[in-house]
Structures are given as structure tokens and as C-alpha cells.
Structure 1
Amino acid sequence: MTAEAAALRRALAERIAEKVSLADPAWRVAVEAIPRECFLGAAVFRPNGSSWEPVRRVESGEEAWMRLAYSDETWVTQVEGIRAADAAVSLVGNPTSSSTLPSLVVRMLEVAGIRDGDKVLEIGTGTGYSTAILCHRLGEENVTSIEYDAGIARQAAENLGAAGYAPNLVVGDGLLGHKEGAEYDAVIATCAVRHIPVPWLWQVRDGGSITTAVGGWLPASGLVRLALADDDIASGRFTGDRISYMLARPHERPPHPVFHRYEGETRRSRLDPHLTDDWTGGFVAQLAAPSAELMTAGDNVILRDIATGSQAWTEATKDGWIVHQHGPLRLWDQVEGALMAWREAGSPDQSAFGITVAADLTQTVWAENPEGPSWRLPA
């Protein structure tokens, strides 16, 4: 399959170049060189209704498996801590590790502005595919990658070895970074975070960068590149890319009891709650209620605050919407006010937003410019 695999890699690189509009041809060269099949193991999960069905290489046949490997798709490799290779039947639950679609891997590296000779810390080794892309471009001696899950880290090391790479691999909490290897020119996270971890800021050189997805429990997320200035202030704008990464495990929503709706105080909503369905609208709502999760029941929208137990739920009427709010926070008041301000500003897309991390480490997301409407990220 060597010639066929090489052709599939070239075809994948061509699709990515068309999709991402590559400014740096080195990433295309890396995609053409890295055997992605080495990073998928013996099986992956594919969605099947509300469950995850294992797809095994030995059962699929080599030709079908290679086409799967070189599709520009995210392949889930672990669900609720169970590897696809170890799953005898379909599973219900949340993915806990995956091989991210290659075009997103390349897009993040482009956004990060990686240059030859840069020293990079990757947060989230996963299968090791993105690590291999970095190694091909920068040399394995310039790449450190940290993985939270020890089992995933062992498999990634095997995958990278099979592909011919031996970067510095670390098992640990990526939110703490890896100070032994600092200072880095760039930190790149392949998971989302609710706020920028302070150790990343300490471990990046002045003028260096942090590229990550900022997400939450609503869930909504945005890709951002922060540059660290010599005055210890980091700032940058969101790219506007519609991406979705798993939250870093320490930032995941904690377990909670079964939801029960309370009548609470009732009033008429001043806007359609389905503005939260909009990519940027959902992001704005999350900024306004950073510890809330979003649920739906039919056409109704439900918000529940994890920290306080406060809740808000909407109900359609013949001429609009009413909202019920219960608990110490008026969640819908917060979300509604932010969404109305966003709409009055012309509903700008996510690329109009940015983040500033001040010298005192407060983290603020702002709209249009740092003096515009702003929201603090949760600590």
C-alpha cells in the first residue's frame, strides 16, 4: 500500500490546502509525509445515532481503512475512558480522546505562526498525529508534548515511534505546562480551556504566543492566538473559525444531579432565546453566564448555573417567549443583556472579539476593542 498511501496523503494535503488556504507550504509538506494510519491504532469510533460504534481495521479491509485514515475527519479513539480497540459493542457517552481532523490541526499551526527553529509546547498529545506534524517541521528536539491520560500517552509514544519520531513526551496536567523545558516560543493546545492557564503565560518568552480554543459548558468556543508582550500583558483576537475541541479534563463540567425545573419568577423575554443557537450568539451567552450549562427541551432553552444551582428556562407562547428564573442569579437577565448589546452592535462575528490578560492576571474578553463591552473569564 506504500504508493497508494502516498497518493492518499497527497490528496489529503491538496484538500487541506484548498480548505485552509495555506500561507506556509511547510505544513503541506508535513501532511504529505506523515502516515496518519499509524496514529489511529486498530480501531476508531464512529457515531451511530446516540452511540459510538467501534470500526476495526481488520474488519474494514486495508483499502477502506486507508481511505478512512486520509479523510479530513475527526476520528474518536476513546469514549468515557474506553479505547475503541477495547470496545466489544457500541458505547453511549462522551468522547474523551480523538484524532482531530487534519485541516483543523494545520489551521491551528497556521494561526500560531510557527516558524523554523521555534521551540513549541503542545498541550494534549492525543494520538500523536499533530505532534508528528510539528516534529516534521521543527525537528523533534524542538517539540515537547504533554498528555493528561497515561494510557493515551503510552499509545501516542508507540504511534510516534512507528512513524519515526521521538519528541519529548510528558505525562501530566497540561494546564500546568512543562516548566523544565521553558521558555517556549509557542504554546499550542489541542483541547479547549475555560481560561488561559497562568503557567502557560510564565513559560512563554516575551514575544511568544499561546494558541488555544477558549470554551465552556454552554458549550461554545473560539480559537484565539495571544501574543505575550514584554510588559507581561498578553492579548489577541479570535479568528472566527468554527471549531470545537474537547475541554481539558480539569476544566470539564463537574457531575451534577438530575435537573428539575422550578417555576421561579416569570417575565416576558425581550428576545428569541434561539439566538443562543448562533455560533457567536452562543459564545456571547457563555461569556455572560460562564458557569452555566445549556440544555433544550423541545423548543425551549434551559440554562442551569453549575456554581449556584440557579436556573432559567424559556417557554414559547403564541406571541413570543416567557422566561422562568430561579435561584440567586438571574441567568436570563445576564444572557439577555449581553445578547441585546451584541445585536445592537450589529451582531458582529466572533472575529470582532479579543482577549486581554493583564499583568495582574485578570482575563477579559472584549468586543470590537479593549474599551468596548467586556466580560471576565472564570478563574
Structure 2
Amino acid sequence: MTSEPDIDTAAADLRRQLAHRLEKDGRLRSPEWTAAVAAVPRHLFVPRFYRESDAAGVTTWEPVTPEIVGQEEWLRLVYRDETWMTQFDGRDIDWADPKPISDAAPTSSSTSPGLVVRMLEDLGVNEGMNVLEIGTGTGYSTALLCHRLGNGNVTSIETDENVARRAREALTRSGCTPRLLVGDGRAGDRDAAPYDRLIATCGFRNIPSAWLEQVLPGGVILTTLRGWMRSLGLVKLIVTGDSASGWFSEDDPSFMIARQQDAPESLGMVPGPGDGTKRKATYGPDVLTFAGSAFMAQLAAPNARFFSMPVDSGPVSTFVLDSVTKSFVVLAPTVSGWQVRQGGPCRLWDAIESAVATWEEYGSPNTAAFGVTVSRDQQVVWLGNPNGPHWSLPA
């Protein structure tokens, strides 16, 4: 077993290597953040974690601890530019006897350092700024903020009490003492407001109004917008009074959705074979999974989810169900393409096909061509400019 001083020496070397790789990749662009990555001991924040197994079949996660893989390999993995899972289905892991995990949804993680520092660079902080972080997680990104700005300028909110406790312990061990809160990140924190910057490390269906109230005019909100079908992407908003606007980036970090905005467990009622009206579909179910068109489908049907299954021992059909409006779509293959059957108060497939057609008309651009404008009354995603085609985010 490697001694503690040897671990510290090896970890310091691995941090320098990580910082160098991130600089070379263009993720690190400033000496201040490079110094933070070289200084903050990530191994204190991910003492054990899960990684996805290479085995075929059902997605399985396998535990990684110094005892299981050896101290040297564990440390090497910690300082890779990878995201490591630390919780599933909102339940704590029994690290006294960790087992592989299947059929589970990750609910907390240590995000890859490359993505963390790319977002921190985009945040555009300067000395003396007051920053609110939504989603403490393991506390690694919080520690980077503390190194850059000082403990007194960092407030971080975590929704899970046990996750928050472990982050607090790791931050204390690393010498960081930011202001740590447990609660719903959508409410922000009025006590230490106003903030110069707000960064969220989980996905949200819309921009909470409290954020607009607590970030100073000219300040920045950096968050991921996402829906129940997929992530929309990372957006950087500039606050102007009681509104904010900005652009999506080209990257799609696809953070876990905030727990308070997770989809209902029930997808809704599967329609009967005679429900709805039929027509020939212009697009098939592939538009729900291809990156660009799926972005548009999420905008057009913000409360929907989809799945595929055989119908009456026949071919596989795709169902799109809106659990809020109870609208539905059934896409069935035919000899000449796809047939759509839809019903309910919203014509979901009409809306999806219209959005995809608009996207194609504009040259099928990536997410960087889209922007967001939010106010107290309305939140919209637009294409090209605020007067271009636009879609409302869910309330």
C-alpha cells in the first residue's frame, strides 16, 4: 500500500499532467484556472466511484476503489478527464461491500475536469466576484472556484443532504470553506445575493425566475437547458434587469436534470388501436434520436417522451406520449415509409415535423445558431436572432 506522502506526490504529478493536457486541448485558457487544476486534489472528492463496464448487454456500472483496483490504478483513473458516477437512483452506495450496478439511473457524479474547466473559463470571472453554484456534487468544481476567487466569494447549493455532507467533508479536507447550502437550486440564495455569476452543473427545463432576480445586471448565468427526451445544451445568458438573453454553445454537456424537474414516473396512457387520426408521416422516428433534429423535437414537444415496442406481435412502432396534455403519437412502419397516428389536444407530430422542417430550411445548423431570451413572463429559444423562428420553454 502506498503511503500518504507518496499519494500526495503522485497526485500532484498527475494534476500537473492533467492541467497540461487540458491546456493543450484548449479547455484551459488562462493561467488562473490552470493553477487551480494543478492545485485542487480531485482524489479527495472522488475517493471511490463507479465506471461503466465494457460488458455487452444491459448497461452495468462497476465499482472502483483503491482496494479493488489498487492504489496506483485508482489514482490514475481519478485524474483522467472522465466523468465518474458516485450515486444511482438517489440512494447511497454501500461502500463496505460495493457491487456492480445495472438498470439504474446515475443521480450524482464527478463531471469530467475538461468540461468543468471549460464552463469555468466561459463563466468569465474576475477577482472579487461573488459566484453562486447550483449543484455542489462531489465539491470538486466548488474547490476550483474557491482556489480562483477565495472561499468568501463562493456559495454552492446541493439538493441531496448526503451528497452535500460528503462534499463538505472533502472541501474541508482540501482546505476550502465556501458557503454551502442544502436546498432547491431553483430558488437560488437571497442571503448572499446579488451575484456576479451563476453556474449550474445540472440541467434545467427553464431558467428559474429567482436567478434573474439574484444575478446583477451585466452578470452571467451559465447552465444547461434540457428536457425529458434529451439535453438541449449549454447556454450562456447575460442578465439585463429583469430579463436575460444569450446563445447556446456547440457542446452538449448533457448534465443530469435537476431532481425537482425530473419527468413523472408514468409516461401516460398508451392509446388504443382506434384512437387518433392517421396520415402519412413526412419524417420517421429517426428524427427523435439524430442530434440536430432531436434538438428540434425536444423544443416542439417539451413535455413528451418516447419509446418503441412491437404492437400486436407486429412490427415495432414508436410512441410519443405527452404526460402533461395527454397527447400522443404512434409511428408505424409501412411499405412506403411511416404512418403517424396522433390525438389529444396537441398535434405533437405536426409540431415536431414543422420544427424539423424549419431547421432544415435554415441549413440544419448546430446548436450555436440558437439563442435564448427569458423574462418573468416568457422564455423562448430562437433560431438565428430573437425575431427568427422561436419555441417556448415549458413554464
TM range (shorter): over 0.9
1:21 Cα offset (Å) = 4.1
Give the TM-score normalised by the residue count of structure 1: 0.94
- What are the residue-to-residue correspondences of 1:1-379 with 2, within 5 Å? 1-41=7-47, 43-48=48-53, 49-86=58-95, 88-91=98-101, 92-230=103-241, 232-256=242-266, 260-263=270-273, 264-297=276-309, 300-358=317-375, 360-379=376-395
1:52 Cα offset (Å) = 2.6
Q: Which amino acid aligns with 1:348?
A: P
**What SS does the aligned partner of 1:181 have?**
coil
1:259 Cα offset (Å) = 6.0
1:281 Cα offset (Å) = 1.7
Deviations 1:239-262 (A, max 9, x none): 121211001111100121676353
User: Is the 1:189–1:213 Cα contact (8 Å) retained in structure 2?
Assistant: yes
**What SS does the aligned partner of 1:267 have?**
strand
Query: Could you say if the C-alpha distance between residues 374 and 53 of structure 1 is closer, same or farther in structure 2, counting changes exceeding 3 Å?
Result: same
**What SS does the aligned partner of 2:249 have?**
coil
Q: Distance in 2 between matches of 1:188 and 1:296?
A: 36
User: Is the 1:30–1:137 Cα contact (8 Å) retained in structure 2?
Assistant: yes
Q: Distance in 2 between matches of 1:294 and 1:103?
A: 31
Query: Could you say if the C-alpha distance between residues 34 and 280 of structure 1 is closer, same or farther in structure 2, counting changes exceeding 3 Å?
Result: same
**What is the root-mean-square deviation of aligned Cα atoms in Å?**
1.8
Q: Distance in 1 between matches of 2:21 and 2:82?
A: 12
Deviations 1:94-123 (A, max 9, x none): 111110011111111122112222110000
**What SS does the aligned partner of 2:77 have?**
helix
Q: Which amino acid aligns with 2:187?
A: L
User: Is the 2:268–2:321 Cα contact (8 Å) retained in structure 1?
Assistant: no
Q: Distance in 1 between matches of 2:243 and 2:122?
A: 19
User: Is the 2:268–2:323 Cα contact (8 Å) retained in structure 1?
Assistant: no
User: Is the 1:56–1:85 Cα contact (8 Å) retained in structure 2?
Assistant: no
Query: Could you say if the C-alpha distance between residues 275 and 19 of structure 1 is closer, same or farther in structure 2, counting changes exceeding 3 Å?
Result: farther
Q: Which moved more, 1:29-38 or 1:258-267?
A: 258-267
Q: Which amino acid aligns with 1:236?
A: G
User: Is the 1:54–1:84 Cα contact (8 Å) retained in structure 2?
Assistant: no
Q: Distance in 1 between matches of 2:337 and 2:24?
A: 43
User: Is the 2:268–2:326 Cα contact (8 Å) retained in structure 1?
Assistant: no
Q: Distance in 2 between matches of 1:296 and 1:20?
A: 40
Q: Which amino acid aligns with 2:110?
A: S
Q: Distance in 2 between matches of 1:10 and 1:75?
A: 20
Q: Distance in 2 between matches of 1:125 and 1:18?
A: 27
**What SS does the aligned partner of 2:330 have?**
strand
1:320 Cα offset (Å) = 1.7
Q: How many residues align?
A: 376
Q: Distance in 2 between matches of 1:19 and 1:282?
A: 28
Q: Distance in 2 between matches of 1:258 and 1:310?
A: 9
**What SS does the aligned partner of 2:25 have?**
helix
Q: Distance in 1 between matches of 2:326 and 2:231?
A: 20
Query: Could you say if the C-alpha distance between residues 20 and 242 of structure 1 is closer, same or farther in structure 2, counting changes exceeding 3 Å?
Result: farther
**What SS does the aligned partner of 1:221 have?**
strand
Q: Distance in 1 between matches of 2:252 and 2:45?
A: 25
Deviations 1:29-72 (A, max 9, x none): 1111111110013x212223423332223222110100110011
1:194 Cα offset (Å) = 0.2
Which 4+ runs in 1 deviate beyond 6 A? Answer: none
Q: Distance in 2 between matches of 1:297 and 1:22?
A: 45
User: Is the 1:274–1:301 Cα contact (8 Å) retained in structure 2?
Assistant: no
Q: Distance in 1 between matches of 2:328 and 2:340?
A: 10
User: Is the 2:127–2:149 Cα contact (8 Å) retained in structure 1?
Assistant: yes
Q: Distance in 2 between matches of 1:295 and 1:115?
A: 46
Q: Which moved more, 1:119-128 or 1:3-12?
A: 3-12
Q: Which amino acid aligns with 1:340?
A: A
Q: Distance in 2 between matches of 1:363 and 1:142?
A: 29
User: Is the 1:121–1:186 Cα contact (8 Å) retained in structure 2?
Assistant: yes
User: Is the 2:212–2:243 Cα contact (8 Å) retained in structure 1?
Assistant: no
Deviations 1:271-303 (A, max 9, x none): 243123232321111111111113244875431
Q: Which moved more, 1:256-265 or 1:53-62?
A: 256-265
**What SS does the aligned partner of 1:235 have?**
strand
Unaligned regions of 5+ residues in structure 2, if any? Answer: 1-6, 311-315
Q: Distance in 1 between matches of 2:328 and 2:11?
A: 52
Q: Which amino acid aligns with 1:277?
A: T
Q: Distance in 1 between matches of 2:267 and 2:373?
A: 35
